[in-house]
C-alpha cells in the first residue's frame, strides 16, 4: 500500500524538530469573520496560527470577539474551558506583515476586492520564500488574476471556506490557470488535516457555493419586498420545507449584508446575469448600517451572543 502523503512530504520537509516547528504553523491575514473562523478551525486541530490585522485597535477587538465566540460555544456545551485555552494558546496576533517570513502556507482572508488582494500578494511575494504557497479565500475573484500579481503563479490557489468555518465541513478548492498539481495536493492535504470535505471547482465566478446560494438569497429578499410573506414566514418556509439550518434571510444576516451585497454586485458585473442584481431592500439595509448579525440588526435583530431576538420581546 502506498504511503499517504502528508503536508510535510508535500512541502519537502525532513522531520527534524526545527522543520516540525516551521511546518506546523500557518499564517492567516485578516482577522475578520472569515479569518477568525479559519484561525479557530486550524488551531483547534493542533496547528499554530499567526493571525494578522492592520491596526492594534482592530486586533484587540478581534481578540475580544474570538473569546466571545468561544465562550458562547462553552455555554452551548460545544467546547470546554480547556479547549478554549488550547485554541487561544495556538493563535498569535500581529500587525507586522514581515512576520510571515518563513511560513510555508499563507491564507488571505481580507475583503474580497482585487484592489486589496492583488497588492497584498505582491507584498507577500517580496517578503516570503518562493516556495511558500499563497491561499486566497476569495468567493468571487479570479484566482488566475490574483496569481498574475505575483512571481509564483504555480503556488497560488483558492480555498473557499464557508461561514462559520469551524462548523462547515467543506472547502472548495480552485486552481488558477498556472496552479501546479503539487500546490493542489498541498491544499487538499491541508483541508484533510483540518477535517474538511473537498470540492474541486473550475475557475468560474462564484465557483459552486456562492454562485448557487446568492440567487436564492436575492429571491428571498424580493419575496419580502413584494409582500409575499414576512421575513419570519419566508425563513420558516425554507427551514421547515427544505430542512435548512437557517432561512435565507437569517443566513444573509449571518454572512453580513454588506458582504452579500458586495458578492452580488461582483457577480452581476462579472456575468451580466440579472439574477445577481442586488435587491433594493438589501441596498437600503446596508446604507442604513443594518449589516445583520455583526451590527445586531439586519432582516432580524440579534443580541450580543448572536441569538435572534423575538420581535415580541
pLDDT in tens, 123-150: 999 999 999 999 999 999 999 999 999 9
If asked whether residues 50 and 188 sit together in one domain, one would say yes
Q: What is the pLDDT of residue 312?
A: 56
Q: pLDDT-based confidence at 21, cuts 50/70/90?
A: very low
pLDDT at 311 over 90: no
Domain's final residue, options 153, 179, 201: 201
**Domain end among 201, 233, 251:** 201
pLDDT of residue 43: 96
For the domain that residue 262 is a member of, what is the CATH number?
A: 1.10.1040.10
Predicted confidence at residue 303, as pLDDT, reads 87
Per-residue model confidence as pLDDT tens digits over 196-240: 999 999 899 999 999 999 999 999 999 999 999 999 999 999 999
Question: Is residue 312 situated within a structural domain?
Answer: no
Tally of structural domains, the chain: 2
Q: Which domain holds residue 22?
A: 7-201
What 3-state DSSP class applies to 213? helix
Indicate if 133 and 260 belong to the same structural domain.
no
Q: What global pTM score does this model have? A: 0.89
Q: State residue 10's pLDDT score.
A: 75
| 50 and 180 together in one domain | yes
Residue of 144, 135, 142, 108 whose CA lies nearest to 191: 135
Q: Are 174 and 226 in the same domain?
A: no
Residue 20 has pLDDT above 80, yes or no: no
Same domain membership, residue 39 and residue 138: yes
pLDDT at 118 over 50: yes
Provide the pLDDT confidence category of residue 103 given band limits of 50, 70 and 90.
Answer: very high
CB 105 within 8 A of CB 186: yes
Whether 72 and 221 share a structural domain: no
Amino acid at each position: 500500500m502506498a504511503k499517504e502523503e502528508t503536508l510535510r512530504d508535500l512541502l519537502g520537509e525532513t522531520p527534524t524538530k526545527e522543520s516540525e516547528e516551521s511546518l506546523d504553523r500557518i499564517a492567516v491575514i485578516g482577522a475578520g469573520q472569515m479569518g477568525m473562523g479559519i484561525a479557530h478551525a486550524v488551531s483547534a486541530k493542533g496547528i499554530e496560527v499567526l493571525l494578522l490585522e492592520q491596526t492594534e485597535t482592530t486586533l484587540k477587538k478581534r481578540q475580544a470577539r474570538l473569546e466571545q465566540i468561544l465562550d458562547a460555544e462553552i455555554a452551548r456545551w460545544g467546547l470546554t474551558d480547556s479547549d478554549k485555552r488550547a485554541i487561544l494558546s495556538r493563535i498569535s496576533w500581529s500587525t507586522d506583515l514581515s512576520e510571515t517570513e518563513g511560513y510555508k502556507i499563507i491564507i488571505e482572508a481580507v475583503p474580497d476586492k482585487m484592489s486589496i488582494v492583488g497588492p497584498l500578494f505582491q507584498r507577500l511575494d517580496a517578503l516570503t520564500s518562493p516556495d511558500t504557497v499563497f491561499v486566497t479565500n476569495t468567493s468571487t475573484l479570479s484566482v488566475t488574476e490574483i496569481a498574475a500579481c505575483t512571481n509564483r503563479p504555480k503556488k497560488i490557489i483558492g480555498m473557499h471556506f464557508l461561514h462559520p468555518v469551524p462548523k462547515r465541513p467543506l472547502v472548495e478548492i480552485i486552481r488558477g490557470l498556472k496552479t501546479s498539481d503539487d500546490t493542489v495536493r498541498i491544499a487538499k492535504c491541508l483541508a484533510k488535516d483540518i477535517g474538511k470535505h473537498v470540492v474541486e471547482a473550475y475557475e468560474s465566478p462564484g465557483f459552486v457555493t456562492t454562485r448557487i446560494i446568492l440567487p436564492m438569497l436575492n429571491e428571498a429578499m424580493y419575496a419580502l419586498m413584494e409582500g409575499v410573506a414576512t421575513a419570519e414566514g419566508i425563513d420558516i418556509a425554507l427551514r421547515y420545507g427544505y430542512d435548512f439550518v437557517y432561512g435565507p434571510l437569517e443566513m444573509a444576516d449571518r454572512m453580513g449584508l454588506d458582504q452579500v451585497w458586495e458578492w452580488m454586485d461582483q457577480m452581476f458585473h462579472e456575468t451580466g446575469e440579472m439574477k445577481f442584481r442586488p435587491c433594493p431592500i438589501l441596498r437600503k439595509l446596508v446604507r442604513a448600517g443594518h449589516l445583520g448579525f455583526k451590527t445586531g440588526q439586519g432582516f432580524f435583530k440579534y443580541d450580543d451572543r448572536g441569538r435572534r431576538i423575538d420581535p415580541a420581546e
